Amino acid sequence: MTFEVRQFELALMHRMRDLNPARVEEALAAMGATRAELRDAHARWTRMAYAPGAPKGVAALRRALGPPAHRGVRQAGSLTCEVFRWALPSWPGMEFEALAGPGGEVWNQWFVRPSPRAAPAFGELVPWACVVADLAAFPGATQGEGGAPHHWTAGFTHEGAGYRALFVYGLLQRLDRA
């Protein structure tokens, strides 16, 4: 049995379910997928990540997603990394990005906007419609790691109130009042 785009999306959603189970349930219904399929996709992706001889890093992503829609290079301090991006059907207007070091080892993977857009208004900060970079539009926004793998947070103020945005794979899952 192959592991392709649908299974990869489900594996991502498994982690997103940590912070936004209702949105994941909606997506499963739209895909005609079950919770069992979601769990199986996550388990298979995890097994492949640790299986001897299985492709690792960017090679694993290419095997599941095919050729990237975009490939380039980016400086990260004194290091040069390769950038790979794939469009995924469940998240139109965004791309899943992997930054890789020498040998294809993935240093970071998350959703990004392939093209810049106007800064979002506060009301546009809705789950699955914003990425971490969108929060740069809010003065004083601070970013940090979340409480689990592939989780990220951003704190900011709007009209005098503090907010905490919670992301999984760089995609907004929840916006809480701080």
The CATH number assigned to the domain holding 111 equals 3.30.1450.10
* Integer Cα distance of 113 and 95 in angstroms: 6
Measured from the Cβ of residue 9, the count of other Cβ atoms closer than 10 Å reads 22
Mean pLDDT of the chain: 93
Whether the pLDDT of residue 1 is over 70: the answer is no
Residue in 93, 110, 92 with CA at minimum distance from that of residue 167: 110
Same domain, 42 and 67: no
Higher per-residue pLDDT: 173 or 76:
173
Same domain, 41 and 64: no
Whether the pLDDT of residue 169 is over 80: the answer is yes
pLDDT at 115: 85
Higher per-residue pLDDT: 13 or 77:
13
Whether the pLDDT of residue 149 is over 80: the answer is yes
**How many residues are given for the chain?**
178
**pLDDT average, residue stretch 79-86:** 94
Q: Which residues contact 118 (CB under 8 A, 6 or more apart)?
A: none
Quote the percentage of the chain above a pLDDT of 90. Answer: 80
**pLDDT average, residue stretch 84-110:** 94
Same domain, 47 and 62: no
Quote the percentage of the chain above a pLDDT of 70. Answer: 99
pLDDT at 102: 82
Domain C-terminal end among 12, 31, 54: 54
Same domain, 22 and 61: no
pLDDT at 116: 79
Domain C-terminal end among 89, 115, 141: 115
Same domain, 135 and 164: yes
pLDDT in tens, 8-25: 999 999 999 999 999 999
DSSP string, 94-127: -EEEEEE-GGG-EEEEEEE-SS--PPPPGGG--T
Same domain, 108 and 139: no
Question: pTM of the entire structure?
Answer: 0.93
Specify the number of domains making up the chain. 3
Please answer whether residues 71 and 62 qualify as being in contact, where contact means their C-beta atoms are separated by less than 8 angstroms.
no
Same domain, 50 and 61: no
3-state secondary structure 42-103: HHHHHHHHHCCCCCCCHHHHHHHHCCCCEEEEEEECCEEEEEEEEECCCCCCCEEEEEECHH
Per the structure, the complete domain to which residue 48 belongs is given by 1-54
What is the torsional sign of CA 90, 173, 32, 98?
positive
